[in-house]
Amino acid sequence: MQGWNWNGFFEYLTNYYLFQGALVTLGLTVFAMTAGLIIGFILAVMRMSPYRILSVPAYFYIWIMRGTPLLVQLIIIYTGLPQLGIKFTVVESTLIGLALCEAAYLAEIVRAGIAAVPKGQVNAARAIGMRESQILRYIVAPQAFRIIIPPLGNSVNGVLKTTSIASVISMNELLRRTQVLIQEKFLVLELFVVAAIYYLVMTTIWELIQSRIEKRFGRGYGQMTPDMH
Amino acid sequence: MSSNGQMIALKGVDKWYGEHFHVLKDCSLTVDKGEVVVICGPSGSGKSTLIKCINALEPIAKGSITVDSVEVADPKTDLPKLRAKVGMVFQHFELFPHMTILENLCIGQQKVLGRSHDEAVQRAEKLLHRVGLAAHAKKYPGHLSGGQQQRVAIARALAMDPIAMLFDEPTSALDPEMINEVLDVMVSLAEEGMTMMVVTHEMGFARKVADRIVFMDGGEIVEIGKGDEFFTNPKSERARTFLSKILPH
């Protein structure tokens, strides 16, 4: 039995190579959320469309992407598609896989948010002569966004951890770098605990940011001031 | 009624909800420029639906509705353009909760009428002053009382310089002590000659400003009477029954 190596643990805790890996993880998270939200918003609007030519493909896409594991999707993109002559690098495969998969989940969140904006708001916007695209942009989307901030925040937390799956196709993020370092001194437990701490620190910081965002976007809602009446 | 002074005209309007509920039955009505028409009747009689058809928030199945000589039901009609000319006030205010009072009054002016920010703000502040809420411009709707919110909603509609105003039960979601502050604004609008259609149960208001009263029941326009005449001498049995239920003894 080797026991716990404190020196090794602290050495890896401040290891620059791992720190960079954490930055890569953050970058993947930001990209997956941003691209996922843009594609997800389009999917949500398509899915809510009265035209079947829009709603059916969106439904089909969401069904596939939510019904299959990201791990399988990544392997198909990176390892499977070259068989058809479609080649992506590790980074490209990771970005594509994360964004496309996350888009399906975010589409459902966005759709729920849009559906939660009262119909009366749309009527009021129509009554002052706004066009449907303006109503979506100025009236529905901002209110839907406020409604979906809590589930979106949870998605960020989820994606941050999910990016570790990309280590399987040798994406050089936090978990992959942890595994590489294990080959150095075989401090298996110490290194995985360090990786866990990195993830925990990132998700905790995000939690703090999220609660601030929620406060900021909650302005004007349900707050009572003493001079109300 | 001269036809050239005609602002809103409904001819043989029919509408169904689903396949079986015949919500409007062959409704015909004209409203002249500057006229104030109050629509009353028991709940479920189709009054709110009728008024929402006028700016096409609800589609109609049959008949014709014209506003300022533009056919509302014509698929070629530019509905947003038409709606911008007709103000509407809703039972539940429907202010935009994520915008300040000032922004609520400016968004339509800027995005629909293409006014500059300064122009829009100037007009908005004038209207807020008019409804007695100038001090609340920077607040959010959630910070105002129901009566205040409804006055903002009226100001938001007026900011578009409408040629007519539609009111859909504007006071029925309000606490009793806030009803008058809203009615006062509506009375002053009527006195300035605004063309108005008002769905309301406020019979005191109707008596005071309505040129004509439209009584609806079961999706039909049962009776159209001149203001006071309708109250003192309703022609139909259904109107008499309705009035006996809502007028104080």
Distance of alpha carbon B3 from the chain centroid: 22
Please give the mean pLDDT across all residues of chain B: 93
Q: Which residues fall within 8 angstroms of residue A53, CB to CB, at 6 or more apart?
A: none
> Would the pLDDT of A142 be above 70?
yes
Residues of chain A whose beta carbon is less than 8 angstroms from a beta carbon of chain B are 118, 120-121, 123-131, 134, 138-139, 142-143, 146, 219-225, 228-229
Question: Does residue A226 belong to any structural domain of this protein?
Answer: no
Contact A126 B80 (CB under 8 A): yes
pLDDT tier, A220 (very low <50, low <70, confident <90, very high otherwise): low
Mutate to test the interface with A, among B94, B101, B107 (most CBs of A within 10 A): B94
pTM assigned to the model: 0.84
Find out whether A159 and A173 touch, Cβ atoms under 8 Å. Answer: no
Task: Give the Cα separation of A7 and B202 in Å (integer).
Answer: 82
Dihedral (C-alpha) B118, B123, B124, B125: value to the nearest 10 degrees?
A: 90
> Would the pLDDT of A1 be above 70?
no
Q: What is the pLDDT of residue B136?
A: 96
Task: Give the Cα separation of A47 and A101 in Å (integer).
Answer: 16
- A 10 A CB-CB count for B156 gives 29
| Percent above pLDDT 90 for chain A | 80
User: What is the pLDDT averaged over residues A23-38?
Assistant: 96
Instruction: Please name the helix (run of DSSP H) or strand (run of DSSP E) that holds residue A106, with its range, or none.
Output: helix A90-116
pLDDT tier, A225 (very low <50, low <70, confident <90, very high otherwise): very low
> Would the pLDDT of A184 be above 90?
no
Q: What is the pLDDT of residue A20?
A: 94
Residues in chain B closer than 8 A to A130 (CB atoms): 80, 107-108, 111-112
Find out whether A27 and A172 touch, Cβ atoms under 8 Å. Answer: no
Two tokens, residue A110: 């966005």
Question: Does residue A1 belong to any structural domain of this protein?
Answer: no
Give pLDDT tens digits for A36-79: 999 999 999 999 999 999 999 999 999 999 999 999 999 999 99
Q: Which range marks the domain in which residue A168 is found?
A: 6-221
Please give, rounded to a whole number of angstroms, the shortest distance from the CA of A99 to a CA of chain B: 29
Closest residue in chain A to residue B90, using alpha carbons only:
A124
Q: Which residues fall within 8 angstroms of residue A73, CB to CB, at 6 or more apart?
A: A65, A97, A100, A101
Out of B80, B94, B144, the one facing A131 most closely (by C-beta) is B80
**Partners of B24 in the β-ladder:** B15
Total domains present in chain A: 1
Per DSSP (E only), the strands in chain B are 6-17, 21-32, 36-40, 62-67, 70-71, 86-89, 164-168, 196-199, 212-217, 220-226
Find out whether B206 and B47 touch, Cβ atoms under 8 Å. Answer: no
Question: Does residue A133 belong to any structural domain of this protein?
Answer: yes
> Would the pLDDT of A219 be above 70?
no
Q: What is the pLDDT of residue B4?
A: 56
The CA radius of gyration of chain B, in Å to the nearest whole number, is: 18
Question: Does residue A45 belong to any structural domain of this protein?
Answer: yes
Residue-level pLDDT, tens digit, chain B, 249 residues: 444 589 999 999 999 998 889 999 999 999 999 999 999 999 889 999 999 999 999 999 999 999 999 999 999 999 999 999 999 999 999 999 999 999 999 999 999 999 999 999 999 999 999 999 999 999 999 999 999 999 999 999 999 999 999 999 999 999 999 999 999 999 999 999 999 999 998 989 999 999 999 999 999 999 999 988 898 888 999 999 998 888 765
Q: How far apart are the first and last CA of chain B?
A: 35
Residues of chain B whose beta carbon is less than 8 angstroms from a beta carbon of chain A are 52, 55, 57, 79-88, 90, 92, 94-100, 107-108, 111-113, 139-145, 156-157, 160
Please give, rounded to a whole number of angstroms, the shortest distance from the CA of A119 to a CA of chain B: 10
Mutate to test the interface with B, among A117, A122, A126, A128 (most CBs of B within 10 A): A128
Give pLDDT tens digits for A65-118: 999 999 999 999 999 999 999 999 999 999 999 999 999 999 999 999 999 999
Give A126 or B3, the one with higher predicted confidence.
A126
Token pair 């978990």 is at which residue?
Answer: A175
Task: Give the Cα separation of B144 and B100 in Å (integer).
Answer: 11
Task: Give the Cα separation of B59 and A203 in Å (integer).
Answer: 50
Q: What is the CATH number of the domain that holds A209?
A: 1.10.3720.10
Find out whether A18 and A201 touch, Cβ atoms under 8 Å. Answer: no
Question: Does residue A229 belong to any structural domain of this protein?
Answer: no
Distance of alpha carbon B146 from the chain centroid: 17
Tell which residue, B7, B15, B138, B152, has the closest CA to residue B89: B152
Question: Does residue A185 belong to any structural domain of this protein?
Answer: yes
